[in-house]
Structure 1
Amino acid sequence: MATTQESKHYKVIEPSSGWKMVDFQELWRYKDLLYFLTLRGIKARYAQSILGVSWAIIQPLFTTLVFTLVFGGLAKVDSDGMPYLLFSYLALWPWNYFSGTLTESANSLIQNANMITKVYFPRMVLPLSAILSKLLDFIIAFVVVIGLLIYFKQMPGWGIVFLPLLIIQLLMCSLGIGMFLSALAVKYRDVKHALTFLVQLLLYAAPVVYSTQAVPEKYLNIYILNPMVGVIEGFRAAFLNRPMPWDWIWPGSIVAVIFFVFGMLYFRRMERIFADVA
């Protein structure tokens, strides 16, 4: 009697080399993993917390109050004729998301080293889940924006329709820099320690506590290349019924796209060594 031998099929997964683009189809196949990791990140952030998601409102609000007291009250920083509390919060709202995603994404690969060394999945899922989990804080913080607009009797203008474009620019900048830092942090652990200091410095490189009118004209050509400048000024214009500052927005949007593409390419290039050094 002849015996039959079952054929076995194996799929060999080889590390990528060189500068390759992201396989978005593969990312889509792992969308469930991305969803659960994002949900896990949200739950871990507020686990065993009495106030829970209320921290997403308390933290930026109290920071704004301190800025209002120090910069708006004592230092008399110009706020373009707006109430400084509203002026500052509309900048801190997108800035807190940006700075938070840098910290979360930079540590995402190191914190999940066990997953990387034991099972295959697109490594980009980890910084993506860290960035997406911060969106909940961003949405909750919008409640304070509504409250401040009502308190100061301020109605948003037609510029509010461009808010999705500003959010896309914010996301692209956060994703690009976040993926670059997460890949860099696996090889160089100094990134984790330097990032806290770097984020504090970057705060003053964007018009969070001061107006863009305070920037010397000779530095404007460099200053507007910061993607967060256009995002912050755009948020203020959208909610304070002012003309959209396209001259501030479009240079930063180009830089945000460059950050996004370079961040993905660098992440893919370094992906092959993650399991060895994580």
Structure 2
Amino acid sequence: MNDVKTVITEQFKNFGIIRRISKYEEKATYQSHYLGLLWQVLNPAIQIGIYYLVFGLGMKRKDIDGVPYIIWMLVGIIAWFFINSSILGESNSIYKQIGMVSKMKFPVSILPTVNMASNFKSYRWMMLILFVSMFAVGIYPNVYWVQYFYYLFCMFAFLFAFGILNSTISVLVRDYHIMLQSILRLLFYLSGPIWEFQRIFAGTRHAWMTRLLELNPIYYIIDGFRDSLLYGKWFWEKGVQTIFFWLVVGVLLILGSHIHMKFRARFMDFM
């Protein structure tokens, strides 16, 4: 537990550095592009349009449980874009910046958080588009919207715990980052951002698969956002999933912090 305490303390002590580096990375990424930071919104918006054409108009889906499909999809896919880009970016964060770390004095553990902070700006703009779209179709704030911040915290906690683990393993085993990309492609279809995987197993002898897939932490977050913004359900109504989610986050954080603290003094040796 001392490793967990150390890693978390380093995030708070270096909050200012995290903000400055994340802003620098945003500008550095798009400085040679004519549209600059506008690509943070355009890129996901184009992908959303493609998915809507295929899974919405192409499959003739008008609504899901009374909610327009485009709104239902936006809630899930905006969260997915942030989660996916953060997991992949965090995984490669230490390996990519190890040269800078060797020249500057700040803890390596903040690099996954820096990446997550960089991606968060794009997420905020996409959420603004979502809220405008919801108001346009007559979906307005209610008491359940307060719960959105609980699931936002869940998303940050999961990404932080998973990021510490992934970034360390990626330095030790370079194949891990490539394997993670393949796993995330599969999880895209099993985490519910664009379709309901429950319908595949509904009414079959494999219905137990639904319960198993619902234990996926990413699904818990995406479904939680929909419960908060669209369906008016509280998180304690999903007791088993909630307990399992926080157990997974706890295990990832303890394991990731321990491995990180054990090997970070020798990262340069593995490069």
Residue in 2 that maps onto 1:56: 40
Residue in 1 that maps onto 2:4: 21
Q: Aligned pair in 2 of structure 1 residues 26, 260: CA closer, same or farther (>3 Å)?
A: closer
* 2:255 partner amino acid: F
Q: How much has 1:212 moved relative to structure 2? A: 5.5
- RMSD after superposition: 2.4
Distance 2:270 2:104 in 1: 15
Same amino acid, percent of matched pairs: 20
Distance 1:65 1:25 in 2: 41
Residue in 1 that maps onto 2:229: 239
Which ranges in structure 1 are unaligned for 5 or more consecutive residues?
Answer: 1-17
Q: How much has 1:162 moved relative to structure 2? A: 0.8
- When normalised by structure 1's length, the TM-score is 0.83
Equivalent residue pairs, number: 261
Which ranges in structure 2 are unaligned for 5 or more consecutive residues?
Answer: 202-206
Taking the TM superposition and a 5 Å limit, the aligned residue runs for 1:36-51 are: 36-51=20-35
Distance 1:76 1:258 in 2: 41
Q: Secondary structure at the match of 2:3?
A: coil
* 2:253 partner amino acid: F
* 1:186 partner amino acid: V
- From the two aligned structures, give the one with the greater helix fraction: 2
In the alignment, does 2:141 pair up with 1:156?
A: yes
In the alignment, does 2:58 pair up with 1:74?
A: yes
Q: How much has 1:30 moved relative to structure 2? A: 3.4
Q: Which moved more, 1:134-143 or 1:193-202?
A: 193-202
Match of 2:19 among 32, 35, 38: 35
Distance 1:111 1:275 in 2: 12
Q: How much has 1:42 moved relative to structure 2? A: 1.9
Q: Which moved more, 1:161-170 or 1:77-86?
A: 77-86
Residue in 2 that maps onto 1:97: 82
Match of 2:259 among 256, 266, 270: 266
- Describe the superposition over 1:115-163 as per-residue Cα deviations: whole angstroms up to 9, x where unpaired: 2334443110211111112111111111211221122121233211111
Q: Secondary structure at the match of 1:154?
A: coil
Distance 2:169 2:2 in 1: 15
Q: Which moved more, 1:190-199 or 1:98-107?
A: 190-199
- Describe the superposition over 1:237-263 as per-residue Cα deviations: whole angstroms up to 9, x where unpaired: 222243236317513343233323332
Which is greater in Rg?
1
Distance 2:248 2:209 in 1: 17
Q: How much has 1:21 moved relative to structure 2? A: 2.9
- Describe the superposition over 1:48-100 as per-residue Cα deviations: whole angstroms up to 9, x where unpaired: 22223332322333222222221223334673332111111100111111101
* 2:36 partner amino acid: G
- When normalised by structure 2's length, the TM-score is 0.85
Q: Which moved more, 1:69-78 or 1:204-213?
A: 69-78
**1:231 touches 1:249 (CA, 8 Å); kept in 2?**
no
